[in-house]
Structure 1
Amino acid sequence: MDGPHGLGVTTRAFGLKGPRGWAFREVSFDAEPGSLIAVEGPSGSGRTCLLLALTGRMRATTGSATVGEWHLPKQAAAVRRVSALAHVPGVTDLDPALTVGEHLRERALLERRFGGSLRALLRPRAERAAETEQRVDAALTAAGLDREALPKGSRTAVRDLERLEALRLSVALALIGGPRLLGVDDTDLKLSDAERAEVWALLRSLAEAGTTVVAVCSEAPEGAVTVSTSPREMETAETETRDAETGEAETAPAETGEAGTHEKEMVDALPATGRA
């Protein structure tokens, strides 16, 4: 059952195949609401595709997945409404020319316009502005980004942010909408060991606060629900599944008297599977 905020995630033989082969396959795991799920694997192993599929942004081709009360891929639109992405190249890129404050205002306006109800839009302007500011402050606090500590405060351009600060900003922007499932890509890309430890501390704090977090990484931290997309792990999972199915077929009663017999992440996965 779902907690007060986060969503449980369950997959069985979840996979995505395109014209050039498998992006990922035979992914099976169970995660409780408010879990920190680490998608572990080398670059090019399909880990980003899995992140996008779990958040309803890509359509899987095999197996099944349940996010909260919704089933993928049929109810992907519902999953998208309760999830958000951060730090995903080509999807949530920050504009280096814009300032931190401009990014925050833009995201808050989009959330107010498209994420809220019609009744909320009809409330007094001052009330809506105060609520927006409160939501932005809460997101920044949760992401661990202090605007006053930046070189020029909110007027600091994204191009002047450190890598860790840019990641925190991306997470804060995603949190403004109050997602129940948060997907974060490349959590350890070009970061020092100390910075990686800070990122995992941040993501763990979000999970402990109730939001289910799915994070892509090269090496999963201790205590996380680890899901591997490495080719060797995928081949092992596929072999185990095939052996289990063969064993069931051999032991099942025959109705007719005869025994029953029953690659790397591809570049063009997005157009092949119809990314939302």
Structure 2
Amino acid sequence: MSGLRVQDVTVTRGAGPVIRDVAFTLEPGRITALVGPNGAGKTSLLESISGVVPAASGSVSIDGTDITKQSRVARAKLGLAHIEQGRAVFPGLTVVENLKLTARTWPRVEEVLALFPELEKRRNSPTALLSGGEQQMVVLARAFAARPRYLLIDEMSLGLAPVVFTRLLPMVTRFAEEGAAILLVEQFTHLALGVSQDALVVSSGRVTFQGTAKELLDAPETLHSAYLGE
């Protein structure tokens, strides 16, 4: 059975659950947009999938293998990568050195750099000297270099101008076209839905909509209600 399956996952933080009985499957080659208001539990859900925080109940599996109790490192070895909020670059390392942390071969580094012309020009520059948009490209390129089969992206646009984010989205699409399954959390909801095949709406910790991205785009009242917490 191929795919990353989340089955009835509940995540508890502080006084109580922030995610309740969430279930869905990520399929290879497809992008799923996960949308909802701030505080809905989207980040906690991604962190429970990648192993940053434990699930209070439920299960997560990759291609039929239960990974619910496995460490983050073990999940990564099975092909799961998580781009967390913010720009998690190593500022003292150059662009190439950042990519070598995840790329298994030198040809893969060169292959990824070819996808990002801006980074190719700055390949030997410390990432601390790069612009915010360029640093976000490094984060995305480093994930691509690892060739994960399942990729979780949490607010890739955080701190970026919409025009920069729009330029990064085609890279996500291309990665999916290469066979990766992607779960995309993004504040620019309509842009995220525009590149996604599937969609989930999470409100108050629960899934309130599950279907295709087109269905959600064609039902603005559903999306509006979700952001109002209704």
SS of corresponding position for 1:229 = strand
**Aligned-residue offset at 1:136:** 0.9
* 1:254 alignment partner in structure 2: none
Match of 1:139 in 2: 112
The 3-state SS of whatever aligns with 1:172 is helix
Pairwise CA RMSD of aligned residues?
A: 2.7
Alignment of 1:215-230 (within 5 A): 215-218=184-187, 219=189, 220-222=192-194, 223-230=196-203
> Between Structure 1 and Structure 2, how many residues are aligned?
203
Indicate which of 59, 71, 81 corresponds to 1:84: 81
**SS of the counterpart of 1:199?**
helix
- 1:60 aligned residue: 55
Greater radius of gyration (CA): 1
Tell me if structure 2 keeps the 8 A contact 1:13–1:25.
yes
| CA drift at 1:41 | 2.8
Alpha-carbon offset, residue 161 of structure 1: 2.0
Structure 1 window deviating more from structure 2 (72-81 vs 9-18): it is 72-81
8 A contact 1:200–1:221 mirrored in 2: no
Contact 1:33 1:211 in 2 (8 A): yes
Q: Which letter does structure 2 place at the counterpart of 1:141?
A: A
Highest relative contact order (Cα 8 Å, sep 6+), 1 or 2?
A: 1
SS at 1:23 equivalent: strand
How do 1:1-276 and structure 2 match up within 5 A?
A: 1-2=1-2, 8-75=3-70, 78-81=74-77, 82-89=79-86, 93-105=88-100, 107=101, 132-142=105-115, 144-149=116-121, 153-218=122-187, 219=189, 220-222=192-194, 223-231=196-204, 234=206
After the TM superposition, which parts of structure 1 deviate over 6 Å for at least 4 consecutive aligned residues? none
More strand by share: 2
- The answer (yes or no) to whether the contact 1:145–1:165 under 8 Å persists in 2 is no
Q: CA deviation at 1:100?
A: 1.5
Deviations 1:142-175 (A, max 9, x none): 5x354343xxx22323233232221221122223
Tell me how far apart the structure 1 counterparts of residues 147 and 207 of structure 2 sit (CA, whole Å). Answer: 37
Structure 1: stretches of 5+ with no match in the other structure: 3-7, 113-131, 238-276
- For residues 236-256 of structure 1, give each alpha carbon's deviation from its aligned partner in whole angstroms, at most 9, with x where no partner exists: 58xxxxxxxxxxxxxxxxxxx
DSSP-derived class of the 2:123 partner: helix
1:33 is paired with a residue whose SS is coil
Relative to structure 1, the CA distance from residue 59 to residue 157 in structure 2 (aligned partners, 3 Å threshold; closer, same or farther) is same
Residue 200 of structure 1: how far off its partner (Å): 2.4
> What is the TM-score normalised by the length of structure 2?
0.74
Shift of 1:76: 5.3
C-alpha separation in 1, matches of 2:154 and 2:139: 11
Aligned AA for 1:203? Answer: V
The DSSP-based 3-state class of the residue aligned with 2:46 is helix
Cα offsets for 1:9-52 (capped at 9, x unmatched): 23232210133222322322233212212222334332222112
* Structure 2 unmatched runs, 5+: 210-230
DSSP-derived class of the 1:155 partner:
coil
The change in CA–CA distance for 1:134 and 1:197 in structure 2 (over 3 A counts) is same
Q: Which residue of 2 aligns with 1:261?
A: none
